[in-house]
Chain A
Amino acid sequence: DAGVIQSPRHEVTEMGQEVTLRCKPISGHDYLFWYRQTMMRGLELLIYFNNNVPIDDSGMPEDRFSAKMPNASFSTLKIQPSEPRDSAVYFCASNPGTSGDTQYFGPGTRLTVL
């Protein structure tokens, strides 16, 4: 299996622009998670899905952030408009569900908002 796939790996944008991050979970995994990693706050859970349905979005920082999972093999995290404080590494992770609670992480997207 290819593991969790994220794109792009690096994104540099200007303040006010829309940013879309993409994730393909491991095939057959029922859960998908979006995390953000910063030096100041460490790893934070933003939102997670079960069978394509958002279960908990309490970690989404504000209305500028939105996430979707239109099917079992694809999810997006969108920031509109982006701000410099959104600069971070964004990780997607997936979990098989019934067979355990181990999470498998993608390589991350490093976002820089100028």
Chain B
Amino acid sequence: GNSVTQMEGPVTLSEEAFLTINCTYTATGYPSLFWYVQYPGEGLQLLLKATKADDKGSNKGFEATYRKETTSFHLEKGSVQVSDSAVYFCALPDTGRRALTFGSGTRLQVQP
């Protein structure tokens, strides 16, 4: 079935540093791909999505490009802020059912 693998954390960066969180997937066909973010004590929020190959999703300065050649959907941000400290999850639809399969999550800590 569909699956996703993302880099383990925690990732610790200084404010204004460049961020990359790697995500690779295994899927049948070309499903939508998602990044969700979970701030401390909160539920998951959709950060961005891409619905087909070569699409770029973007939101709040974050970007991710759907790359079918490398089966990747890496999350990037050019200049992180302390407020970006959270756990980030890569996800894609399950095989044959409506639910999403999530990666293990990557904790980002941004220091001032």
Contact = CB atoms under 8 A, between A and B. Distances in A.
Contacts, number: 48
A31 B99 CA distance: 9
Contact of B43 (A45, A50, A100, A107): A107
The interface size bin for chain B is 20 to 34
A106 interface: yes
A4 to B, nearest CB: 8
A33 B99 contact: yes
B98 A101 contact: yes
A105 B32 CA distance: 18
Contacts of B31: 101
Interface of B: 31-32, 34, 36, 42-46, 49, 89, 93-94, 97-100, 102-105
A110 to B, nearest CB: 9
Interface of A: 4, 31, 33, 42-43, 45, 48, 50, 55-56, 91, 93, 95, 100-108
Given A50-B98, A56-B99, A104 B46 contact: yes
Nearest to A108: B43
Contacts of B89: 43
B97 A105 contact: no
Contacts of B98: 31, 33, 48, 50, 55, 95, 101
Q: Which of B32, B43, B49, B104 has the most CB of A within 10 A?
A: B43
Shortest 6 CB-CB distances between A and B: which pairs?
A105-B43, A105-B44, A43-B102, A107-B43, A45-B99, A42-B104
A40 to B, nearest CB: 11
